[in-house]
Amino acid sequence: MSRSDVLVSADWAQEHLGDAGLVFVEVDEDTSAYDKGHLEGAVKLDWKTDLQDPLRRDFVDKEQFEQLLSAKGISNDDTVVLYGGNNNWFAAYAYWYFKLYGHDAVKLVDGGRKKWELDSRPLSDAEVTRPATQYRAQEPDTSIRAFRDEVVAAIDTKNLVDVRSPDEFAGKLVAPAHLPQEGAQRPGHIPSAVNVPWSKAANEDGTFKSDEELAALYADAGLDDGKATIAYCRIGERSSHTWFVLHELLGHADVKNYDGSWTEYGSLVGVPIAKGA
């Protein structure tokens, strides 16, 4: 696995829009951006309504994922090229999700929607429909997904990477600063976690930093190469961004995303919490 296998530039994306065998997919929490303008031919996925179970807190199951991709016109043989807003947070989440269900041919557009817009590249508001397929998913690969008990067990044992902002890590804020500071969680972080904000892995235009810069970033933060790693944030989308960096760009073998993240951990009764920088 190398960078070019998992990440494509905006230039590459623009040159390959409409290619057979490629499906561009925009992933956002708020899909109104897609509705106003999207990459030509791209279909949309709504992080919440398409990828989360409507009742309990979990993913859609294998059958629901198969129905979703079939309806979107994505086949098992297609290469899925993901991009989105929020510096590709939700696109990275979808990337991880596609991998979880066994779709190997997935790529991210470097910089996502932000770079595309800042470059004034063309957007289309034409409705996109693709013929339905018969998509078949694999059983979920839990080697890349962490659950709460293994996170508690990982304290002082595995690398825990808290990718939220320093103020969230310290317990000064309980949510990213574009959201009201409400919520039932106790503020703070998981003991023994290191704080490497996801944003340190990205340039201002949303593109990823170079492999050399990324390797130095996590080495300087004290991430032990010889240990397994669990990344978390608040709801698991920013940590998907870091999971992508560690597992897909830097090739670390054992990296899990804890999608329960702080909204789960900070609400658990009896688990240890640390505060301060």
Catalytic residue (one of 233, 235, 245, 250): 233
Nearer Cβ to another protein (118/219): 118
The DSSP line for the chain is: --HHHHEE-HHHHHHHTT-TTEEEEEEESSTHHHHH-BSTT-EEEETTTTTB-SSSSSB--HHHHHHHHHHHT--TTPEEEEE-SGGGHHHHHHHHHHHHTT---EEEETTHHHHHHHTT---B------------PPPP-GGGB--HHHHHHTTTTSEEEE-S-HHHHHTS-SS-TTS-S--SSPSSB-TT-EE--GGGGB-TTSPBPPHHHHHHHHHHTT--TTS-EEEE-SSSSHHHHHHIIIIIIS--SSEEE-TTHHHHHTT-SS---B---
Is the CB of 78 or the CB of 110 nearer to another protein? 110
Q: Which is nearer to another protein, 33 or 146 (CB)?
A: 33
Q: Which is nearer to another protein, 96 or 135 (CB)?
A: 96
CB of 123 to another protein, least distance (A): 11
Q: For the chain, report the end-to-end CA distance as a whole number of angstroms.
A: 35
Among all chains, which residue has been given the structure tokens 């905006």? 10
Binding site for another protein (CB under 8 A): 28-30, 33, 47-48, 85-87, 89-90, 114, 117-120, 165-167, 172-173, 175-181, 197, 199-200, 204-205, 234-235, 237-238
- Can you tell me the distance from the alpha carbon of 222 to that of 217, in angstroms, rounded to the nearest whole number? 9
CB count within 10 Å of CB 217 equals 16
Nearest approach, Cβ of residue 124 and another protein (Å): 16
148 catalytic? Reply is no
Question: Residue 264, Cα to own-chain centre: how many angstroms?
Answer: 17
Question: Closest Cα partner for 244 from 136, 117, 84?
Answer: 84
What residues are labeled active site? 233
